[in-house]
């Protein structure tokens, strides 16, 4: 069976991707510096290297493991941190990714799956839902850094034959979710509601996103490595909007939360409305989301309840 290197495999989404590949019988290697990932998320069936993706030590991992595929999830994924610390954001997301691409080229990786952001690369959309041909005009440093690597992937394919798939994630949510990053609102709200704390919505709450359950995103990674296709870029998403107010009301119903919502100032660099057309990946790879928003939120709340009991 093939061997897959998953960067960020101790993180929220990456750990679910690892679990799926392990369950499918693949040999899995995890590269994660645990700066935002958690050792508790590590799958015991995978080999783990605690290394920063910018480190020259990454070459030793490629040399020792010789992975057939790379699924690159490791990133600085907090929009607000990217605005406050753009040099850090660019260093991790751009230089770290180029470091991986160099070793993928050197050691003959068959396909490089790169996780980009459908929520931040397009900026304020000119039309909705956004398909892959929509103009790229990010309004935050995170969106710019993630998109930059998409150009490098194309160059490495044209110049060196490294096949790639870009998955532009929507707002992903589910068990193990970190309160940082684009869809952190679900985990933040869930944690506060379960502990009876005040929930604050930044902005008027009418801003909309495309929320997709983490298990559906893991499946897209599996399809990207098992179905032959031309190198390219794919959106994931439902293609329909969900407002932050809707997330609040649905979670309040699931958790029994009764406090009224409070509103705070909107955050700089955050897109007002974004949802994605995923018809291309449906056509090429057969991917469609399967877990509804309410079903996914119920699974997430159940996970948080168990986590609190364990803690």
**Residue of 78, 88, 73, 82 lying closest to 32 (CA atoms):** 73
Q: Is 120 exposed, middle or buried (0-12, 13-18, 19+ CB in 10 A)?
A: buried
Contacts of 3 (CB under 8 A, 6+ apart): 26, 27, 28, 29, 65, 66, 67, 68, 69
**Which residue is catalytic, options 49, 122, 142, 169?**
142
Tell me how far apart the alpha carbons of residues 155 and 139 are, in angstroms, rounded to a whole number: 24
The Cα-based distances of 229 to 114, 172, 205, 269 in angstroms read: 15, 24, 39, 34
Q: Are 16 and 176 in contact (CB under 8 A)?
A: yes
Q: Are 277 and 235 in contact (CB under 8 A)?
A: yes
Q: From the CB of residue 38, how many other CB atoms can be counted at a distance below 10 Å?
A: 14
Tell me how far apart the alpha carbons of residues 305 and 284 are, in angstroms, rounded to a whole number: 38
The Cα-based distances of 198 to 21, 201, 219, 247, 265 in angstroms read: 39, 10, 35, 15, 16
234-239-241 Cα angle (round to 5): 130
The Cα-based distances of 38 to 44, 116, 176, 218 in angstroms read: 13, 21, 9, 18
Q: Are 94 and 101 in contact (CB under 8 A)?
A: no
Decide: helix, strand or coil at residue 284: helix
49 is catalytic: no
Give the residue numbers marked as catalytic: 142
């Amino acid at each position: 069976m093939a061997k897959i290197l998953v960067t960020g495999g101790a993180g929220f989404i990456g750990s679910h991707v690892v679990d799926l590949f392990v369950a499918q019988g693949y040999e899995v290697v995890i590269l994660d510096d645990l700066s935002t990932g958690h050792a508790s998320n590590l799958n015991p069936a995978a080999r783990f290297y605690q290394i920063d993706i910018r480190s020259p030590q990454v070459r030793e991992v490629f040399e020792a493991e010789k992975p057939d595929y790379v699924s690159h999830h490791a990133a600085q994924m907090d929009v607000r941190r990217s605005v406050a610390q753009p040099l850090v954001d660019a260093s991790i997301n751009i230089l770290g990714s180029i470091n991986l691409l160099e070793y993928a080229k050197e050691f003959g990786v068959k396909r490089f799956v790169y996780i980009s952001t459908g929520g931040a690369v397009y900026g304020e959309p000119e039309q909705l839902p956004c398909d892959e041909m929509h103009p790229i005009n990010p309004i935050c440093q995170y969106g710019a850094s993630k998109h930059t690597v998409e150009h490098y992937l194309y160059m490495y394919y044209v110049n060196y034959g490294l096949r790639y798939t870009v998955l532009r994630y929507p707002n992903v949510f589910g068990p193990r979710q970190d309160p940082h990053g684009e869809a952190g609102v679900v985990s933040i709200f869930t944690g506060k509601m379960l502990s009876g704390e005040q929930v604050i919505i930044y902005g008027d709450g009418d801003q909309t996103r495309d929320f997709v359950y983490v298990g559906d995103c893991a499946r897209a990674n599996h399809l990207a490595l098992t179905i032959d296709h031309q190198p390219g870029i794919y959106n994931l998403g439902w293609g329909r909007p969900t407002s932050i107010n809707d997330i609040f009301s649905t979670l309040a119903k699931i958790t029994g939360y009764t406090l009224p919502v409070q509103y705070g100032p909107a955050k700089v660099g955050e897109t007002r409305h974004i949802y994605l057309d995923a018809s291309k990946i449906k056509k090429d790879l057969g991917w469609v989301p399967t877990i509804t928003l309410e079903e996914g939120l119920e699974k997430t709340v159940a996970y948080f309840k168990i986590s609190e009991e364990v803690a």
